[in-house]
Amino acid sequence: MFLFFGKKEPKPYHVGWLSVGSGHDIYYQQFGNPKGQAVLLFHGGPGGCGKAKHASHYDLKQWRVIMFDQRGCGLSRYSDLLKDNTAPAAVQDGKELLDYLKIKGKVTVAGGSYGAGLALLFAETYPKRVNRLILNSVFLMREQDARWVSHTSRLFYPDLIDEMRRQAGTDDIVSFYHRLIFSDKYKDLQQVQKYYAVYEKMLGKTEASFNETPALTDASIRFMRIYLHYEKNHFFVQENQLLQNIQRIQNIPTLIVHNRLDFCCPVEQAFDLHRVLPQSKLVIVPDKGHSSPLLFNVLKKEIKIMKI
């Protein structure tokens, strides 16, 4: 077990791998009560992984928390990292996992950040399988949302954005770093890590200085390859797809929790979603950063008072 915020992370009662085709075996974990209300949890990224601490947002005496590492992520296995590695494929994998675990009724679907976008995409694809949505730090996958990191955040970090533009020789810094991350040269990989990877992470932490460069590892390279693969391909959804298809989930109760000063995914995204979902509850947390102890404490409190 590991400690987080002074508590012990829960242990899964069941783990395994599920073959989903195209050379991918997704790693899954189950926590809590095997007979409890099932919640399918999508992790963030793209390129992240399922974390045991996220199961602790739920009362594990009542909930059955199911999470999986998306294709190429975490402990999932693959023969070709990016083959059929798309957002619709992640949604289909979630559905196949529920079927594999013989969960036939409606489930709660949850996710944070990019995972919140996947949760919405799942609900819009399989609305009859979803009884509620629990979302935090929402990312809607629109062009304006993606451009925030690589362009609009220049309002606060003009020197860093201009340096990346200088390196790229163009405003299209995503394509530039996408090319570098697939290089076989160490200096190219290090350049991605030093600039774009660090910038995206530090935005999420709302830090004013960018003096540290994390060590370049196989895991960090894989993360950025997946992340830039998705960003360059517009996250494999149509422009504004999630909001355009929102009528499919109009009657699904939805909890949305978002930090006020989230510099990775500005709170406008959560607000835009809330405005078009009549059955939604929006809680704006008076805190900063893409995630924080206060955000997760509020999320846990809101989940606790939900009727299941």
pLDDT (tens digit per residue) in 47-85? 999 999 999 999 999 999 999 999 999 999 999 999 999
Say yes or no to pLDDT of 2 above 50.
no
Query: Cα(41)–Cα(33) distance, rounded to whole angstroms?
Result: 15
| Predicted local distance difference test score (pLDDT) of residue 227 | 98
The reported pTM is 0.95
Domain boundaries, the chain: 3-141+237-304, 150-235
Query: Cα(122)–Cα(111) distance, rounded to whole angstroms?
Result: 11
Say yes or no to pLDDT of 232 above 70.
yes
113: its two tokens: 């950040």
Query: Cα(206)–Cα(210) distance, rounded to whole angstroms?
Result: 11
Please give the backbone phi and psi of residue 200, each rounded to the nearest 5 degrees, phi first.
-60, -40
The per-residue DSSP string of the chain comes to --EETTEEPPPPSEEEEEEEETTEEEEEEEEE-TTSEEEEEE--TTT----HHHHTTS-TTTEEEEEEPPTTSTT-EESSTTTT-SHHHHHHHHHHHHHHTT--S-EEEEEETHHHHHHHHHHHHSGGGEEEEEEES-----HHHHHHHHTGGGGT-HHHHHHHHHHHTSS-HHHHHHHHHT-S-HHHHHHHIIIIIHHHHHHHHT-S-----PPP-HHHHHHHHHHHHHHHTGGGS-TTHHHHTGGGGTTS-EEEEEEEE-SSS-THHHHHHHHH-TTEEEEEEEEESSS-HHHHHHHHHHHHTS--
Report the length, in residues, of the chain: 308
HSE-CB at 28 with a 13 A cutoff on CA atoms is: 27
Determine contact, residues 98/20, Cβ cutoff 8 Å: no
Closest C-alpha among 293, 281, 302, 301 to residue 53: 293
Domain over 3-141+237-304 is classified CATH 3.40.50.720 = no
Determine contact, residues 43/111, Cβ cutoff 8 Å: yes
Cis peptide, bond prior to residue 46, ω within 30 of zero: yes
| Structure confidence by residue, pLDDT tens digits, 160-188 | 999 999 999 999 999 999 999 999 999 99
How many CB atoms are closer than 10 A to CB 246? 17
Q: Tell me the C-alpha to C-alpha distance, in Å, between residue 294 and each of 94, 117, 284.
A: 29, 22, 11
Say yes or no to pLDDT of 208 above 80.
no
Give me the chain's average pLDDT, please: 95
Q: Are strands 14-21 and 63-68 parallel, antiparallel or unpaired?
A: unpaired
Q: Which residues are catalytic?
A: 113, 262, 290
* Nearby residues of 179 by Cβ (< 8 Å), 6 or more positions away: none
Mean local confidence (pLDDT), 86-105? 97
Say yes or no to pLDDT of 1 above 80.
no
| Predicted local distance difference test score (pLDDT) of residue 200 | 85
| Structure confidence by residue, pLDDT tens digits, 51-60 | 999 999 999 9
Query: Cα(270)–Cα(265) distance, rounded to whole angstroms?
Result: 9
Say yes or no to pLDDT of 213 above 90.
no
